[in-house]
């Protein structure tokens, strides 16, 4: 038992050194490991939803007309403000600057 513990301990001590010697392969391994883990998490929590029995797929997406009109109105106001800002002429704060010595 004691000998097995020493082998395990020596393995984990040598692991960072081996990873440093083969840095490219270590990074590649970690990259694919992270892709594997993220793929699993996406599949488990954010993947395609399973259709429940009795649910009509046409009713799964509904537009709330009142909220849509509010958003469109907000966009129109922002577009109007943006256009008005383009028409304004602002004074140049550097036009009346203090002359340099020797001018």
Q: Give the span between the Cα atoms of 10 and 16, in whole angstroms.
A: 11
Tokens 């907000």 sit on residue: 74
Encode pLDDT of 46-77 as tens digits: 766 665 555 555 555 677 888 889 999 999 99
Encode pLDDT of 2-36 as tens digits: 778 888 988 889 988 988 999 999 999 999 999 99
pTM of the model: 0.40
pLDDT computed for residue 98 by the predictor: 64
Tokens 């304004």 sit on residue: 88
Nearest to 16 by CA among 4, 28, 26: 26
Assign 62 to helix, strand or coil.
coil
Residue boundaries of the structural domains of the chain: 2-45+64-87
Contact of 21 with 27, CB cutoff 8 Å: no
Tokens (6 digits) for 69: 């009109």
């Amino acid at each position: 038992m004691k000998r097995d513990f020493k082998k395990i301990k020596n393995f984990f001590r040598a692991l960072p050194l081996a990873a440093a010697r083969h840095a490219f392969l270590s990074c590649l391994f970690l990259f694919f490991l992270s892709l594997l883990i993220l793929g699993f998490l996406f599949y488990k929590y954010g993947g395609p939803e399973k259709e429940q029995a009795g649910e009509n797929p046409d009713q799964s997406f509904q537009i709330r007309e009142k909220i849509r009109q509010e958003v469109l109105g907000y966009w129109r106001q922002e577009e109007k403000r943006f256009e008005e800002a383009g028409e304004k002429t602002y004074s140049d704060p550097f036009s009346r600057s203090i002359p340099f010595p020797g001018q």
